[in-house]
Structure 1
């Protein structure tokens, strides 16, 4: 390791590839699919404290693997994030099926993805929890670059 290799600290900007897997080994996400590394800023609130703790101390070019339980990854499912929506709220020609992910427009113009959990008559159950909520996940990371300001 050369002396000028940057180490990830509390204020680093990190460019990395990651592969995200579930405990059963199935792939959940990967930056390698489109060969576009992710860019993250330590301490900006977008990463959980435990995820940041796993990255802290890694250096450019280093590879690591770590397992995060649900509380440290995407959290536990919140029952308040499950809604029952009347079928008439969807376009008449829109196919709605269990397991589908549909983007719902928010008042501020952003979109929030919801997973269709069940359909019973005119009632459609939509889950707005993160799709990986409640899951233990395994991150394989490769640090491409570390920029310390």
Structure 2
């Protein structure tokens, strides 16, 4: 049985550029290390995809719609269903002086220019050629993909959405309950002061309200309790007098 728009699935994949064989992305730590693209800040685990939402490139998403749980497939994605064709109008020459003080400026480097990210194509005669196309634009991609699981129950979907937004905290540290359309999320203490936690909560709430019609309201709970200090051992009301050894009887 194939999937439909809105299905929640977990996938593993290895993604390559067809022309060069270069691996540029994967959910598998072993593959990331093997191809020297491992990053310590990335969580290597099956990726959540809600089909029809554009969370993966169009060509891969179309293939996933026709797959089943446990199925593996090699999917070739042309540029128009991947990161698009390269647009020559997005290649510009800018004065080298605009990058005065910039370290690591070299062909292939990614730089920020006027609020946009570009790839340095060349440096010559006091000018820098910048390419504002996505790095994979114009390339045919090959995905080796496996559908690991489909999530169908509401609480399972909620947990998956929460983990997607906050992968650094194990989802089993949250207490979740859904009753009469109200989802209550009891937050673990380690999340209270996390950077960006309010944006994370807002994003998670938006996801849940969008994808789960059975949820009409979300309540986040943080608990703070008075710290009870350990009481010192109560002093003895009276100390027994030291017993003196009995005197010897005269013989």
TM-score in same-fold range (> 0.5): yes
Number of residue-to-residue matches in the alignment: 139
3-state SS, counterpart of residue 60 of structure 2: helix
2:131 corresponds, among 115, 127, 130, to 127
CA deviation map 1:30-64 (0-9, x unaligned): 12125233222222234444332211032232211
Measured against aligned partners, the alpha-carbon deviations of 1:75-111 in whole angstroms (never above 9, x if no partner) come to 11012222222222224252311111224563xxxxx
**Match of 2:241?**
none
For the aligned residue pairs, the C-alpha RMSD in angstroms reads 2.3
Q: Give the number of the structure with larger relative contact order, counting CA–CA contacts within 8 Å between residues 6 or more apart.
A: 1
Q: TM-score, normalised by structure 1?
A: 0.78
1:138–1:12 CA distance, 2 compared to 1 (3 A): same
Q: Tell me which residue corresponds to 1:13.
A: 8
Q: Does 2:49 align with 1:40?
A: yes
Over residues 102-141 of structure 1, what are the superposed CA-to-partner deviations in whole Å (9 max), with x where a residue is unaligned?
Answer: 24563xxxxx432100112221111121111111111111
CA distance in 2, matches of 1:79, 1:142: 35
Give structure 2 stretches of 5+ with no counterpart: 33-42, 153-211, 213-251
1:75 aligns with 2:84: yes
Structure 1 distance, partners of 2:78, 2:49, is 21
Counterpart Cα distance in 2 of 1:69 and 1:117: 23
Greater strand share, structure number: 1
Give the whole-Å Cα distance in 1 for the aligned partners of 2:110 and 2:72. 32
Alignment gaps of 5+ in structure 1 = 1-5, 107-111
Q: Equivalent residue of 2:104, what SS?
A: coil
**Whole-angstrom CA distance in 1 between matches of 2:148 and 2:113:** 35
Distance 1:49 1:97 in 2: 32
Larger Cα-atom Rg: 2
